[in-house]
Amino acid sequence: MSSQRTALSFYNARTGNVPEGVRFDTESDEAAALFVERLQAEAATFNSLISTENGEWIVKGFIDIFRNIYTISGDTKVVSKLIELMLFPYFVAFAERNNYKIGVTHLPINVTHVGVPPIKCQGTKTKLVPFILRNIRWCDDGQGRWIEPFLGSGVVAFNLAPRAAILADTNRHIIELYEAIQSGEIRSGTVRAFLVAEGRKLELDGAEYYYEVRNRFNESANVLDFLFLNRSCFNGVMRFNRKGAFNVPFGHKPQRFSKAYITKIANQVDWIRMQMAGKDWEFRVAGWRDVLADARSLDFVYLDPPYIGRHTDYYNSWNNVEAQNLAAAAQRLPGGFALSMWLENRHRKNTHIDEHWAGLDFRTSRHFYHVGSTESLRNAMDEALVIKSGFLAAELSVEVKPKRAEQLALTI
Ligand SMILES: C[S@@+](CC[C@H](N)C(=O)[O-])C[C@H]1O[C@@H](n2cnc3c(N)ncnc32)[C@H](O)[C@@H]1O
């Protein structure tokens, strides 16, 4: 027990917060003190691992596959990411030597910078990630899994980066792309080379080339074509006709794949690859019923189904009956769950929550939706996060702003 609590305190060096529900008793106080002593001794060696005897960084810059060299800025995000990359193997070795486990996932966390995955989709929760992850209380205890049956872009899972997860969607193209990145079959270099070559053809032939790729994708379902279409189609939406063919028109930007845009996408691929690295994640093409059937008591299920009444297509045929069945199934889950759903906008209120999720805790957040181009879809919307009783976090009111000396702890 004490080593488990110590492991928790190790993990929490990331935020400086003690996770909710964890109380230190005398036994674990001793373990924590021992842990701090060992960690301090270890931390004393870190300088020599990342700097020269004169105190200079051993990393001077980055080089890309075109041999462009970029120097490192003093941006603390870049610096702390570098420290994390360089020191992480030493943290793992430290944990192994001292019999600590690392990798326990716990919520709530304060996300101050939201990472963005390479795929865009409707209803993505990019803006809501901090709200979602600071309102759920859950610790995987080293055994539970983060389960997302409606993965979409995966922005919530990628930002949480849980130790173990089942990440599923009926849309096989999303899952196949993420599986290819997970296996290393597709890397940022592959993506960059592909988008440079295809982007040149798009620049030359414009819409004609876009539709050629779209036809090719609808015949062969290549994951790189999927990424190309997703990032150059009209409004970045993802839509398939009733036969499963991608049918979004061209976004009218032949010069879409500029050098900077390709770099951005390649970096997003690198980021998600890093978030998955060493994790026990299963990507699955499946409907929500099959996924929920596998949920166990230590798991936490985050549900983000399509909105009722919005566009329906091959992968998104959501309706009232599905929504009601999901509500019933979720409330029978053995472990925790949370559901994202719109609550109200200036025109109407979502009665589904009162009718089918009554009695559960929930928190709300005001948010602006940008789906499609019509003004009516750009309204403020109140979003609800419905949470199973016992899994609601206390409000996190204090933002932890570490001083420089504490930044190492922040990035562990
Ligand atoms: C609102 S989106 C999820 C957005 C995601 N949370 C994000 O932030 O990007 C809903 C997703 O559910 C998937 N989906 C629709 N019907 C489904 C079903 N019956 N079972 C599983 N996934 C489904 C869609 O393909 C879509 O990717």
Task: Give the tens place of pLDDT for each residue, 42-98.
Answer: 888 888 888 888 888 888 888 887 888 888 776 666 777 677 778 877 887 888 788
CA of residue 308 to ligand 1 center, whole Å: 12
The rounded distance, in Å, linking the Cα atoms of 138 and 27 is 23
Say how many Å lie between the CA of residue 274 and the centre of ligand 1: 23
- CA–CA distance, 327 with 38 (Å, rounded to integer): 47
Q: Where are the alpha helices (DSSP H) in 44-128?
A: 46-50, 76-97
Between the CA of 248 and the centroid of ligand 1 the distance, in Å, is: 18
**Peptide bond between residue 108 and the one before it cis (omega within 30 degrees of 0):** yes
Q: Is the CB of 117 under 6 A from ligand 1?
A: no
Under 8 Å between Cβ of 336 and 385: no
Q: Are 248 and 237 in contact (CB under 8 A)?
A: yes
**pLDDT (mean) for 355-373:** 81
306 lines ligand 1 (CB under 6 A): yes
Alpha-carbon torsion (331, 293, 306, 336), positive or negative: positive
Instruction: Evaluate whether 408 touches 46 at the Cβ level (below 8 Å).
Output: yes
Q: Can you tell me which atom of ligand 1 is nearest the CA of 169?
A: 22
Taking the centre of ligand 1 as the mean of its atom positions, its distance from the CA of residue 309, in whole angstroms, is 14
- In terms of pLDDT, which residue wins out, 10 or 93? 93
Q: How many helices (H) and strands (E) does the chain have?
A: 15, 11
Statement: residue 100 has pLDDT above 80:
no
- Report CA(306)–ligand 1 centroid distance (Å): 6
d(CA 199, CA 211): 13
CB of 125 closer than 6 A to ligand 1? yes
Q: What percent of the chain has pLDDT over 90?
A: 55
> What is the tens place of the pLDDT at every residue in 198-253?
999 999 999 999 999 999 999 999 999 999 999 999 988 899 998 999 999 999 99
Give the per-residue pLDDT at 79.
74
Phi, psi of 365 (to 5 degrees): -145, 140
- Which stretch, 290-294, 359-363, 403-407, has highest mean pLDDT? 290-294
**Looking at ligand 1, which residue's alpha carbon is closest to its atom 16?**
316
Q: How confident is the model at residue 118 (pLDDT cuts 50, 70, 90)?
A: very high
Q: Is the CB of 152 under 6 A from ligand 1?
A: yes
Q: What sign has the CA pseudo-torsion 156, 162, 168, 174?
A: positive
Q: Measuring from atom 7 of ligand 1, which residue has the nearest CA?
A: 124
User: Residue 287: CB within 6 Å of ligand 1?
Assistant: yes
Mean pLDDT over residues 342-369, rounded?
86
pTM: predicted TM-score of the whole model, two decimal places: 0.75
Of the ranges 8-17, 46-55, 193-202, which one carries the lowest mean pLDDT score? 8-17
Would you state the structure tokens that stand for residue 75, as one six-digit string?
Answer: 């941006």
CA 340 to ligand 1: nearest atom: 6
CATH 3.40.50.150 assigned to domain 126-182+273-387? The reply is yes
pLDDT at residue 373 in the model = 55
Q: What's the confidence (pLDDT) of residue 46?
A: 86
DSSP annotation string for 139-155: E-TTT--EEESS-TT-H
Mean model confidence pLDDT for the chain: 84
144 CA from centroid of ligand 1 (Å): 22
Q: Is the CB of 150 under 6 A from ligand 1?
A: yes
- Mean pLDDT confidence for 390-404: 62
Over residues 28-52, the mean pLDDT reads 82
Confidence label for 339 from pLDDT (cuts 50, 70 and 90)? very high
3 state DSSP class of 111:
coil
Residue with the smallest CA separation from ligand 1 atom 3 is 152
CB 117 within 8 A of CB 268: yes
Calculate how far, in angstroms, residue 23's C-alpha sits from the geometric centre of ligand 1. Answer: 37
| Structure tokens that stand for 211 in this block | 């539709």
Task: Answer yes or no: is the C-beta of 124 below 6 A from any ligand 1 atom.
Answer: yes
Distance from C-alpha of 175 to C-alpha of 329, rounded to nearest angstrom: 23
% of the chain exceeding 70 in pLDDT: 83
Atom number, ligand 1, closest to the C-alpha of residue 317: 16
DSSP code for 203: H
Nearest Cα residue to 225 out of 237, 241, 209, 243: 209
**Shortest-distance atom of ligand 1 to CA 152:** 27
Mutate to test the pocket of ligand 1, among 170, 322, 381 (most ligand atoms within 8 A of CB): 170
Give the mean pLDDT of 349-358: 90
CA of 154 to the centre of ligand 1 (A): 10
- 150 CA from centroid of ligand 1 (Å): 4
Measured in whole angstroms, how far is the alpha carbon of residue 346 from the centre of its chain?
30
Vertex 281: Cα angle to 158 and 178 (nearest 5) = 60
Which of these CATH numbers, 1.10.1020.10, 1.10.220.110, 3.40.50.620, 3.90.198.10, describes 188-265?
Answer: 1.10.1020.10
Confidence label for 25 from pLDDT (cuts 50, 70 and 90): very low
Cβ atoms of 318 and 306 within 8 Å: the answer is: yes
Which token pair is 257? Answer: 């794949």
Give the domain ranges of the chain.
2-107+400-411, 126-182+273-387, 188-265
Q: Which one, of 249, 217, 255, 258, lies nearest residue 372 by Cα? A: 249
**pLDDT, greater one: 200 or 354:** 200
Query: Which residue's CA is the closest to the ligand 1 atom numbered 20?
Result: 287
Q: What pLDDT is recorded for position 370?
A: 60
* Total Cβ atoms within 10 A of residue 118: 24
Task: Report the C-alpha gap between 309 and 38 in whole angstroms.
Answer: 56
**Poorest-pLDDT segment among 57-71, 98-112, 289-303, 388-402:** 388-402
Q: Could you tell me the pLDDT band of residue 126, with boundaries at 50, 70 and 90?
A: very high
Q: What is the pLDDT of residue 272?
A: 97
Cα 59 from Cα 82, distance rounded (Å): 9
- Report how far ligand 1's centroid is from the alpha carbon of 44 (Å): 46
CA gap 181, 190 in Å, rounded: 10
Amino acid (1-letter code) at residue 245: A
Whether the CB of 383 sits within 6 Å of ligand 1? no
